Structures are given as C-alpha cells and as structure tokens.
Chains A and B, each alone.
Chain A
Amino acid sequence: MGFQKFARGTAAMALVMGAATAAQAEPLKIALVETLSGPQASTGLLYRDAVKYQIGKINEAGGFGGEPIELLEFDNQGGPVGAADRVRAAISEGADVILQGSSSAVAGQVTEDVRKYNLRNAGDEVLYINLGGEAMELTGSKCHYYHFRTSPNAAIRVNTLLDGMKEAGVLGDNVYAMNQNYSWGVDVQDNTVAAADRLGFTVVEQTLHDVNKIQDFSPYVQRIQAADADTVITGNWSNDLLLLMKAASGAGLDVRFGTAFLDQPGNIGNAGAVAEGHFLSAPFNAQVNPEETSAFMEDYKSVTGHYPSYVEPTTVFGLMLLGEALKSVEPTEDGLNAADLAVALENATAETPMGPISMRADDHQIIQPMIVQEVSKDAQYKADDTEYGFVPIKVISAADAEQPVQDSCKMKRPG
C-alpha cells in the first residue's frame, strides 16, 4: 500500500509541475550574431554594448511574457561564412530574433539565410533585425517580410545631408561626388546626382576610387581643385575619409565635406582640426532635446562606461521599437510567434530622445529623424577626448527624412 500511495503522490506532483511549466512560457531568446573578434571587432563590440544595454532596459521593464529576455551572443568571425554558421547555431539554440549590424556583406548573408530558413520551416519563423547594414539592396532586391532595418540607408543619409546643408546655406553650387568604388559608394553617388535638380546644384565631377587601398589622396584633391568644387559629398569611411580630408586640408583646399560616417570613433581624434566645419548626417546628436538626451547619455554611460556614439544610439532606438512591438504580442506556448512580432513591428512606434520612430510596412525600413550636424568646438559632448564635437544644425523630422520605397522590393507578405 505504501508504494501505491507514493506512486500516486509522485504522479500528482509530476502533474502539478507539468502544469506549472506549461503556464510559464519559454523565455524569448534573442541572438546577437556580430563580429566580436579580429580586425573588424571594434564596431561589432559597439553593437554588443548597445544591444546589452537596451535588452537590459526591456528586461527591467518586465521582459517578455513575464520572463526576462535571454540574449545569446555569437561571434561571426567577421565574414559571411562564419555568420551562416552562427545563424544556424542561434536558431538551433532556440533564438526567435537575430540581431546583426556591422557589415553589409554579413547582413546580406544573414538576411538570405533567415529568408531560406523561413521558407523551409513555415510556422516556425525567425526574425532578422538589421541594426546597421546600410546597403540599398537589403531593403531593395533582397527585401523580405522577416527582415527589418533599424538604421538609415544611402538614400536617407545623402538626401538629409544635402537638405540640411542647403538650408544652412553651406551647400555650394558646385558639388563633387567622391566615393569608394563598391555598391555603397555607388549608391551614395547616385543619390547625390539624383538630388542635383531638386536642390539646384551641379555635380561638377564624380569619382569612384579603390576601397581602403589609397595612401595618397593628393591626385584626387587636385581633381577637386581643378573641378572648382566648393562642396564634396562622400560616403567614405575609415581611412578613405580621414586621408581624403587630410590631403584636402594639406593642399589648402577650401571645400566643405558632407559625410556619412564622420562620427565613427577615432575619426575626430585622428583628424583633429582638419574635421572642423565639416558636415554629417546621422540619426543621433547629443544636443537635440537636451533634457531627455542627456538623461539617456548619462544612463548609457553609467551602464557601459562610455557615452553612446556612432552606431550605438541607433541600435538602442531600434531595440526600443522592438520593445514596443513585444508589448503588443501575446506569448504563445512555445514562446513567441515571429509572424505576430513582424506584424507588431510594422504597427509599433517608439518615442526616442530624437523623436518618434516607426517601421515602414512596405519595405521594413525604419523611418526616423535625421540630424544634420557640424564638427565644431562649441559642441557640448566632445568626441574622442578632443576639443571638437558635433553641433546639430538641423533636425529633419522622420516624415521629411523618409525616402521612397525602391521599385526592386517585391515583398511577399504571408497569407
């Protein structure tokens, strides 16, 4: 008799425990597949800081379905092959959302992997949130329903930059388009040329040069001089931007640069006074809406040890949008239905210190305010421990920053 009682008791216990686990949903797993080692790790680590910060905030506010969100980290080893491998690993460990940002090459791989996985595993979809792959085709020919981009792209960067410079009265009549010869540089050049009629300037010359191979930019500076340009619009980043600006300044050239990535850590520290007076269009500036922004700046610093810069604010804002979307999704028995989250993301808006942001349903490109800014000594927050920082010149509202959906995006919506 003793044994029967024991058995019955155990069975009852098992039942109760089973019921308890069923009622409690699986925690939502979000995987960051980023470049965390090797020569390109510096940007990847910035994404990691920002993601950890904002997932922490979402968890403080209750997480998802009453459970804290679990953040998995994977090192994609800097390339598409490693990324493909880590995306598979992330999915097999139960990740429902994949985050990545530091390279368009990797983003191209991840977005295609997610698309194919979803085709082969209907009903068990995963979502890819692209935090920073800015190549146009990711929301163009490669766009699909489960890809969401939370950073701007070439069209948004260039058009807001030109609008802002025009309004500030610093966009000359003769614009020189100087870019790196690959898809990103070509996109920036095309958008610069396309805006010429609308804003009434002439593109005096366009140059595409080798990527990260040129040590001496003086021949290019001579061409700028010969073309009699007063403004140079460039999508260059890293060394190609620094060396170009230094060569121009060394030749005593009086031109103003309009750039996309001048805020990359190290650029201002390296360029110093050479960068003064040049322009940048980015989704964040620390002096816009001072009250909310400085609270965000200080809070970010208290958690990560540094002020947010470069890709970090956009990443945080993108994940704020994810947090808002998660609020309106009901957890299912096995955690999260990615299709529900996709719908929620399309309908969500988030209030960031820069203003409201939302996701455009047609191509899943984020619509967010852009800030045209100038490098100046008057900046409140200095960059790279120099005396320079970024002063906002014009805040372009989310609606004005929006650019038309590309024709090449043929998004298949489920159902």
Chain B
Amino acid sequence: MKYAPLLLLVTVAVLIALPWLVSGSMLNAAVQMLIAALFAMAFGLLCGQAGMLSFGHAAYFGVGAFAAVHAMNAFGGEGLLPTPLLPLVGGATGLVSGLLAGYFSTKRTGVYFAMITLALAELLHALAPHLKTVFGGEAGVSSFRMPAWGIGFGSLNDVYFLTLVWTLVSIGLLYLFSKTPLGRLALGLRENAHRLRFLGYNTHALGTLIFAISAMFAGIAGALQSMNIEAANYVVLESHISTAVVLNSFIGGVRVFLGPAIGGALMTFFGHVTSDLTRVWLLYQGIIFVLVMMFLPRGLVGELVERLRNPSGEGLARTLGTVLARLVSLAIAAFGAVFLIEFLQRVLSPEYRAGVTDGTWPDIALFSYDWAPLSVSPWAFGLGLFGIGIALVTMVNRRVAARKEAQA
C-alpha cells in the first residue's frame, strides 16, 4: 500500500489533463462519472462506513439539484453566490433535509431503517409533481450557467473542471471525515451499536449526524448534476436513481474507501458506452451486478484491495499468470454470452420479423459476419465459446486449488 499516494497523484494528474486527451463525448461521460462517483461516495459513507442501507438517497440528490437550479436563477451567478459556489447551496439543503429525515429514519435500524428512507423518498417523489412552482411541472425547471470569476462556464471544459474540483475536494473531505473521531464512531455504529450505547454514546444523534453528512454530499452531487445539464426535473427523485447508487456502490465495494466512487464511475461509463451500441444494455448491467455479488461479494475494489493485502504467496510471476489466465478465459466466455444474447435479441426484434416472409429467414449480420438463424453455426459458435470459456475458468481454478493443497 506504499504506492497509494503515488497512484493517487497520477490519477489526479490524468484527470486534470483529461480535456486534452479525450473527445467531447467522452469528456461529457467523465463529468457524469465524477458526479456518480461523488454520489456513490456519499452513499458509501452511510452504507459502507456506518452500516445503514438507505433506499432513498435520490431524495437528497434531487433536493440538492433543485436548490442549485433555483439559486442559479435567483442570483444569476453574481453577488453572494457566484456560479462556482452554487454546489454549496445543494450541500446546505442536503444537510438540512438530511438532518430532518435522518432524525426519523435513524430511530430504527436494519430493514426498518431502509423502509423509512424509501418511504421518505417516495413521499417527496409523489409530492413533487403537485408543486409546480418548486419542481417546475413535467418540463422541469431550467436555468443558465452565468459567467463568474472571469470564467465563462459555457464550454464543457469549464463544466468539467468545476465538477472535478468539487468532486475531488468532497472526496478529500470524506476521507478526512473518516479519520475523525466521529468517522471512527461510524464504524462502531456499523459493528456494534449496542456496545456503543453502553459506552455512553448517543447512537441516535450519531446516526442522524452521519445521515445528514451523507445527505449533504449527495446534495452537492445533485447540485453538480443540475449545473451540468442546466436544469432539474422531478424524475431525478425517481426510485431508480436510489437503486442505481446502491448497485453502483456494491459493485465497486461499499466497505473500501474509494470503492463506491470507482463503482459509480465504472457503471456510468458502461451505460454511456453500451447504451448506444445495444438495446439490451440494462440486461448486461444486471448480469454484471449478479455476477459481482455472487463471486466478488466485496465488490471490485474490495476484492482487489483484499488480494493486495493478503498475497497468495506464490510469487508475482505466478500470480500474474493465474490472473491473466482467468481474465482471458472469462473474456472468451463473456464474448460467447454476448454473442448469444445479441443474436437472440436480433432474431426476436420486430424489425427482423417483419422481414421474415413465408418461412425464409434472412441472414443476420453480427460482428461483421452473416449468420443464418436456422442453421447450427451461430448457436454452436456462441454456446461453444461460452462453454470453452467456462471450462477454462474451472480448469484454472482447479489447478490453483491443487497447488494450494500441495503447499498445505
């Protein structure tokens, strides 16, 4: 772990240089990845560190988004609240609403806590369409990023840097928070709240405070989002935003510090890239979640950290060899599965079936080859690759297990 500071520096440097490295569309994805990362980090504080699983974090994200949009319209980017400071409004409203909601929801723990957060978020979601002046009705509230501090904020680069600075500062603050006594107590709350209470701590106040801080950072993320798209719409309060942050954080690994951020960024990037490539990208997203939960329950980052902490003791070359062999065989299996799913999706699509006339099934182009759906070849190709990949993975796993047994 001695390389961690160096790695961090390199990452930050790459992030700063990013506008000159990638295309506009990718930079746009990067802005959303940063926002998703910050939102997931806010969630991670509550769920990973303090062990409180919230199913309603979209509420604080949305509250922050609307507060920022209204502040943007009220101040016009001047005076007390110039454009770069607008996320403060999102953070403040997130904090206040988090204090209120946290007071009620942290009275209970576990499943009941999750239900209360869900109920509060749904309450806001059901209320929002009725309050047209606050939430803007179906077409939403829109705004305009005004220039401030000599920066135009019209170009994507400006927006990217604004989001980057706020995200990095917020994640830095979250890291420092985790080192404070309060941050340490959050871990205690997760591990054993009863013992904490016997030690004389007020666990309800503690829970409320951590909930509010998590909501504050969610509010900042929401504000950054509404500044990015220069609008807020009440669909931001929908429950799928709450579930997305849960999925993202768990895929990344909710108990390691940067796990949620990396999970959020990765899954946002995945959606950005695949949604224009295939109609069934949501299916792939679901499959990834299920696989991660089944085989890497600590999440991607969690598993990586665990492996680095407890090396297998087989030497670098051998470990790398095993990892590589696993990755290659998994890639083969994944390609087979993707091929099958895509082929099936094309066969079942209404456009294709419109072209099927009197029993003749035209060929389907997939991965630059034409396949006849009634012949064996596409199905055998997909199933075969999938089977070979899975067989290879099991073979590698067996050999590793055999080596371990021989050592022991």
Contact = CB atoms under 8 A, between A and B. Distances in A.
A79 B129 contact: no
Contacts of B230: 84, 112-113, 116
Interface stretch (B25-33, B72-80, B197-205): B25-33
Contacts of A49: 351
Contacts of A82: 275
Interface in B99-141: 126, 129-130, 132, 136-140
Interface stretch (B210-218, B278-286, B288-296, B319-327): B278-286
B142 A112 contact: yes
A82 to B, nearest CB: 8
Interface in B237-290: 238, 271-272, 275-276, 279-282
A400 interface: no
B126 A137 contact: no
Interface string A40-84: 010000000100000000000000000000000111010111101
A112 B231 contact: yes
B140 A108 contact: yes
Interface string B10-47: 00000000000001110011001000000000000000
Interface residues of A, number: 45
Given A37-B282, A210-B126, A84 B139 contact: no
Contact of B354 (A182, A210, A306): A306
B235 A92 contact: no
A73 B24 CA distance: 18
B28 A184 contact: no
Contacts of B355: 305
A231 to B, nearest CB: 26
Contacts of A133: 139
Interface string B138-153: 1110101000000000
B21 to A, nearest CB: 16
A410 B280 CA distance: 42
A93 B225 CA distance: 23
Interface majority SS (helix, strand, loop, mixed), chain B = helix
A104 B139 contact: yes
Name the residue among B24, B138, B350 with the largest chain A CB count within 10 angstroms.
Answer: B138
Nearest to B234: A105
Interface in B350-368: 350-351, 353-355
Given A80-B233, A109-B229, A116-B144, A138 B139 contact: yes
A137 B225 contact: no
A183 B154 contact: no
Contact of B233 (A36, A109, A186, A305): A109
A142 B231 CA distance: 13
A81 B231 CA distance: 9
Given A74-B276, A304-B354, A305-B355, A183 B139 contact: yes
A305 B142 contact: no
A33 to B, nearest CB: 11
B271 A80 contact: no
B156 interface: yes
B137 A137 contact: yes
A183 B228 CA distance: 25
Interface string A123-166: 00000000001010110001000000000000000000000000
Contact of A182 (B130, B231, B282, B351): B130
A174 interface: no
B235 A105 contact: yes
Nearest to B128: A182
A135 B137 contact: yes
A75 B275 contact: yes
B236 interface: yes
A187 to B, nearest CB: 9
Contacts of B281: 37
Given A37-B275, A37-B282, A116-B144, A89 B137 contact: no
A184 B234 CA distance: 14
Contact of B138 (A84, A104, A213): A104
Contacts of B354: 304-306
Given A108-B231, A211-B129, A305-B351, A137 B275 contact: no
Nearest to A84: B229
B140 A80 contact: yes
A138 B140 CA distance: 11
Interface of B: 23-25, 28-29, 32, 126, 129-130, 132, 136-140, 142, 144, 154, 156, 225, 228-231, 233-236, 238, 271-272, 275-276, 279-282, 350-351, 353-355
By Cβ-Cβ distance, the 8 closest A-B pairs, closest first, are A305-B354, A108-B139, A183-B137, A84-B229, A182-B129, A112-B142, A75-B275, A183-B138
Interface of A: 36-38, 41, 49, 73-75, 77, 79-82, 84-85, 88-89, 92-93, 104-105, 107-109, 111-113, 116, 120, 133, 135, 137-138, 142, 181-184, 186, 210-211, 213, 304-306
21 contacts: A37-B279, A37-B280, A37-B281, A77-B271, A80-B233, A88-B25, A88-B28, A89-B28, A92-B25, A104-B139, A108-B233, A113-B230, A120-B154, A137-B139, A181-B129, A182-B130, A184-B138, A305-B350, A305-B351, A305-B354, A306-B350
